[in-house]
Chain A
């Protein structure tokens, strides 16, 4: 059975801030869904390869060449960063704290 502590740990891994109330609702819901999914264990999959994609393509290569993207589209994409830009760089909060 999934515990509230496990749910909190998963939320931390997912970088997802959840309220106590949300955790109370999610815990039994996730347990219920995982219980339903448990029926997959009854399928014999010895000698069955996993399927990750279905097109039959494998190892699609392309030349590792720099392609210039439309400048106005690049500017439009960069302009949406919430903390703004410095030159062509997106600003982020400090990663390392000073002692």
Chain B
């Protein structure tokens, strides 16, 4: 670490060491992040709400807890949460006009867990409205700008969360991933993005999008930090019946005593014996030359680390985008039915009767993409079309899931690009939504199958970050951390930062 390194630039691990050693306080750390937000967020627009006063209060409490002997974990670590996650007493908008003035009455389970761990909430991050999109351009409050080049998108839908970490406004952030929404911005912003196994971290208190694939995850500066965040937010929740009572391993312990590291003792590469699958369908046409070259470099690095690379085939991958764009809008049309202008949110004051309260509040409150998805989903679920679209999509989903599960019995992890290209200019796909949907081709399959996946920085194209994706077996995030950590020990892509 350079001596001129600022506190907001620390990783979780570095910050905890300094806090535990008494070199810095949680208040110092929170102030450094809040100062950074003030310094750069006019340009980046990552934050929709900054809760300065509350953050300093929480940081003081963390310092008091540490003074009483508590240590480690996330005690005193400042973070930003995607604004689709409920934070008690703090405005929670989902980046939608329909929730512009909504104050969350309770905490999401993951926020509650972070509060108990002593993490410090700095503010709420911008996103595509209701997490519908891959660029953060669909926010009702304007786009977030990529810290590497402000004319470009940061990716999405957790674009504010990705940009905030890349621009060092916080030590980590929370996002949600339904079809790549944590991994895509991580790739475009040059940071680490973890989508846990579906059900590993509770959805209670997320504003629902696609209930069968939504999962909250972490955006961090290193793979090791992602393990620390998951440790704090993972586990069964009685308020989310889709979280199994699956034991959460001690990820730190498993990183230290990784069975994967046996190669060292035998004088082989550190990851000797690890099998990595390369799905041929992910390396075909449509991959930009720079991304392809970066993945080739990554493969060489993994061979140096002792792994065995193996070509595999996932022939139904090509159907992942069409399956996703039936299942997702269908679940959205149902989940967004709760925004009716009656219980909370925007309500059209001129409405003459009950029906007008519904239709006019929704017509004025929702943005373009939310409307498009409500329409698509309502159509796909309506009489006469349900079997042709929704049921067939659910069956093809089974095929995608089964073939990925089968592949992960043959290999330990699957290695793919995260996105086919680097970040693109704001406005590139405004008039062609289908083209934008196709950008998610590599991230959607793991969402449909419910598998854990992580994006790690692996190179640059003309100064813009490229990400690789590791996909693991269900509930085996630990292996992703072990592989990710070793890759980051052998490379320095994650240490490169944008100049702002």
Contact = CB atoms under 8 A, between A and B. Distances in A.
Contact of A17 (B106, B326, B363, B389): B363
Most buried by B among A11, A19, A22, A62: A11
Nearest to A91: B342
Interface string A78-92: 001111000000101
Contacts of B396: 40, 43, 45, 48
A95 B88 CA distance: 33
B394 to A, nearest CB: 3
A15 to B, nearest CB: 4
Interface stretch (B47-55, B367-375, B411-419): B367-375
B354 A92 contact: yes
Interface in A34-61: 34, 36-37, 39-41, 43, 45, 48-57, 60
Interface stretch (B236-244, B271-279, B457-465): B236-244
A20 B340 CA distance: 22
A73 B419 CA distance: 41
A41 B392 CA distance: 8
Given A36-B434, A40-B319, A52 B394 contact: yes
Nearest to A46: B395
Given A15-B359, A17-B363, A70-B106, 4 more contacts: A14-B362, A29-B372, A77-B106, A81-B344
Contact of A30 (B89, B103, B376): B376
Contacts, number: 176
A22 B389 contact: no
- Size class of the B contact interface (CB-based, 8 Å): 35 or more
Nearest to A60: B241
Contacts of B323: 40
Nearest to A22: B371
A1 interface: no
15 contacts: A10-B378, A14-B375, A26-B375, A29-B433, A33-B376, A39-B319, A40-B319, A43-B396, A48-B398, A50-B398, A51-B397, A55-B244, A82-B344, A82-B345, A90-B343
A16 B198 contact: no
B357 A93 contact: yes
A54 B342 contact: no
The 8 closest A-B pairs by CB, nearest first: A17-B363, A54-B450, A50-B394, A82-B347, A76-B105, A45-B395, A80-B344, A77-B105
B342 A81 contact: yes
A16 B379 contact: no
Contact of A52 (B212, B364, B379): B212
Contact of A13 (B105, B354, B366, B378): B378
Contacts of A81: 342-344
A16 B397 contact: no
Contact of A36 (B322, B346, B394): B322
Nearest to B197: A55
Contacts of A80: 102-103, 105, 343-345
Nearest to B399: A48
A50 B375 contact: no
Contacts of B346: 82
A14 to B, nearest CB: 4
Most buried by A among B340, B346, B347, B379: B379
A81 B450 CA distance: 36
A70 B337 CA distance: 26
A55 to B, nearest CB: 4
A95 B354 contact: yes
A51 B242 contact: no
Contacts of A39: 319, 322
Nearest to A96: B354
Contacts of A53: 198, 212, 242, 450
